[in-house]
Amino acid sequence: MTRHTPELSVLGPATRVTGRINGAGGLRIEGAVKGDVNVQGETEIAEGGSLEGNVQGVALEIAGNLLGDARTEGAILVRSSAKVRGELRAAQVAIEPGARVSVRLETDFELDFGVAARRR
Protein backbone atom coordinates (compact mmCIF):
# COMPACT_ATOMS: atom_id res chain seq x y z
CA MET A 1 0.00 0.00 0.00
CA THR A 2 2.74 2.56 0.87
CA ARG A 3 1.35 5.25 -1.49
CA HIS A 4 1.46 8.65 0.19
CA THR A 5 -1.45 10.69 -1.10
CA PRO A 6 -3.31 13.64 0.44
CA GLU A 7 -6.07 11.19 1.44
CA LEU A 8 -3.60 9.05 3.45
CA SER A 9 -2.85 9.75 7.10
CA VAL A 10 0.33 8.28 8.60
CA LEU A 11 0.86 7.60 12.30
CA GLY A 12 4.66 7.48 12.58
CA PRO A 13 6.69 4.94 14.56
CA ALA A 14 6.99 7.22 17.60
CA THR A 15 3.24 7.91 17.71
CA ARG A 16 0.99 6.31 20.34
CA VAL A 17 -2.77 6.83 20.09
CA THR A 18 -5.41 5.76 22.62
CA GLY A 19 -9.00 6.16 21.44
CA ARG A 20 -11.09 5.80 18.31
CA ILE A 21 -9.86 6.87 14.90
CA ASN A 22 -12.38 7.79 12.18
CA GLY A 23 -11.59 9.25 8.79
CA ALA A 24 -12.55 9.66 5.17
CA GLY A 25 -9.18 8.64 3.70
CA GLY A 26 -6.68 5.86 4.19
CA LEU A 27 -4.52 5.21 7.25
CA ARG A 28 -1.00 3.81 7.67
CA ILE A 29 -0.11 2.77 11.22
CA GLU A 30 3.61 2.67 11.92
CA GLY A 31 3.24 3.32 15.67
CA ALA A 32 0.77 1.93 18.21
CA VAL A 33 -3.00 2.38 18.39
CA LYS A 34 -5.23 1.22 21.25
CA GLY A 35 -8.79 1.71 20.08
CA ASP A 36 -11.05 1.08 17.12
CA VAL A 37 -10.24 2.31 13.61
CA ASN A 38 -12.98 3.10 11.09
CA VAL A 39 -11.81 4.68 7.84
CA GLN A 40 -13.37 4.98 4.41
CA GLY A 41 -10.10 4.15 2.69
CA GLU A 42 -7.41 1.50 2.85
CA THR A 43 -5.74 0.72 6.18
CA GLU A 44 -2.20 -0.56 6.58
CA ILE A 45 -0.56 -1.78 9.76
CA ALA A 46 3.10 -1.50 8.82
CA GLU A 47 5.84 -3.78 10.08
CA GLY A 48 6.61 -2.57 13.60
CA GLY A 49 3.14 -1.02 13.92
CA SER A 50 0.38 -2.35 16.15
CA LEU A 51 -3.36 -2.04 16.57
CA GLU A 52 -5.17 -3.24 19.65
CA GLY A 53 -8.80 -2.82 18.64
CA ASN A 54 -11.19 -3.45 15.79
CA VAL A 55 -10.65 -2.10 12.28
CA GLN A 56 -13.16 -1.41 9.53
CA GLY A 57 -12.50 -0.02 6.07
CA VAL A 58 -12.23 -0.62 2.35
CA ALA A 59 -9.16 -2.89 2.47
CA LEU A 60 -6.52 -3.91 5.00
CA GLU A 61 -2.87 -4.88 4.78
CA ILE A 62 -1.22 -6.21 7.94
CA ALA A 63 2.56 -6.45 8.26
CA GLY A 64 2.66 -5.61 12.00
CA ASN A 65 0.47 -6.71 14.91
CA LEU A 66 -3.33 -6.78 15.12
CA LEU A 67 -5.19 -7.85 18.24
CA GLY A 68 -8.84 -7.42 17.33
CA ASP A 69 -11.39 -7.99 14.60
CA ALA A 70 -11.16 -6.69 11.04
CA ARG A 71 -13.97 -6.14 8.56
CA THR A 72 -13.43 -4.81 5.04
CA GLU A 73 -15.44 -4.41 1.86
CA GLY A 74 -12.47 -5.62 -0.20
CA ALA A 75 -9.41 -7.68 0.61
CA ILE A 76 -7.38 -8.38 3.72
CA LEU A 77 -3.72 -9.22 3.15
CA VAL A 78 -1.71 -10.68 6.04
CA ARG A 79 2.02 -10.34 5.33
CA SER A 80 4.62 -12.88 6.47
CA SER A 81 5.86 -10.51 9.21
CA ALA A 82 2.36 -10.13 10.73
CA LYS A 83 1.00 -11.38 14.02
CA VAL A 84 -2.82 -11.44 14.05
CA ARG A 85 -5.34 -12.57 16.63
CA GLY A 86 -9.06 -12.01 16.12
CA GLU A 87 -11.70 -12.36 13.42
CA LEU A 88 -11.16 -11.45 9.76
CA ARG A 89 -14.21 -10.70 7.57
CA ALA A 90 -13.65 -9.69 3.96
CA ALA A 91 -14.46 -10.44 0.34
CA GLN A 92 -10.94 -11.95 0.07
CA VAL A 93 -8.37 -12.96 2.68
CA ALA A 94 -4.76 -13.84 1.82
CA ILE A 95 -2.22 -15.02 4.38
CA GLU A 96 1.44 -15.22 3.42
CA PRO A 97 3.56 -18.12 4.69
CA GLY A 98 5.32 -17.22 7.94
CA ALA A 99 2.53 -15.05 9.31
CA ARG A 100 1.50 -15.90 12.86
CA VAL A 101 -2.28 -16.03 12.97
CA SER A 102 -4.94 -17.20 15.39
CA VAL A 103 -8.10 -16.08 13.62
CA ARG A 104 -11.64 -16.89 12.69
CA LEU A 105 -12.18 -16.29 8.96
CA GLU A 106 -15.38 -15.21 7.27
CA THR A 107 -15.12 -14.82 3.51
CA ASP A 108 -16.68 -16.05 0.27
CA PHE A 109 -14.75 -18.82 -1.43
CA GLU A 110 -15.14 -21.81 -3.70
CA LEU A 111 -13.68 -25.23 -3.01
CA ASP A 112 -12.46 -27.30 -5.96
CA PHE A 113 -12.42 -30.96 -4.95
CA GLY A 114 -11.15 -32.06 -8.36
CA VAL A 115 -12.40 -34.68 -10.78
CA ALA A 116 -12.51 -37.56 -8.23
CA ALA A 117 -15.04 -35.77 -6.03
CA ARG A 118 -17.27 -34.97 -9.04
CA ARG A 119 -17.58 -38.65 -9.96
CA ARG A 120 -19.23 -39.56 -6.63
Per-residue pLDDT, 111: 57
Distance of alpha carbon 71 from alpha carbon 7, whole angstroms: 20
Domain-located, residue 24: yes
Q: How many domains does one find in the chain?
A: 1
Per-residue pLDDT, 52: 98
Domain-located, residue 3: no
Q: What confidence tens digit (pLDDT) does each residue in 77-107 have? A: 999 999 999 999 999 999 999 999 999 988 7
Distance of alpha carbon 92 from alpha carbon 19, whole angstroms: 28
Domain-located, residue 37: yes
Domain-located, residue 2: no
Per-residue pLDDT, 116: 54
Q: What confidence tens digit (pLDDT) does each residue in 22-53 have? A: 999 999 999 999 999 999 999 999 999 999 99
Q: Is the pLDDT of residue 66 over 90?
A: yes
Domain-located, residue 33: yes
Domain-located, residue 1: no
Residues of the domain holding 29: 8-118
Domain-located, residue 30: yes
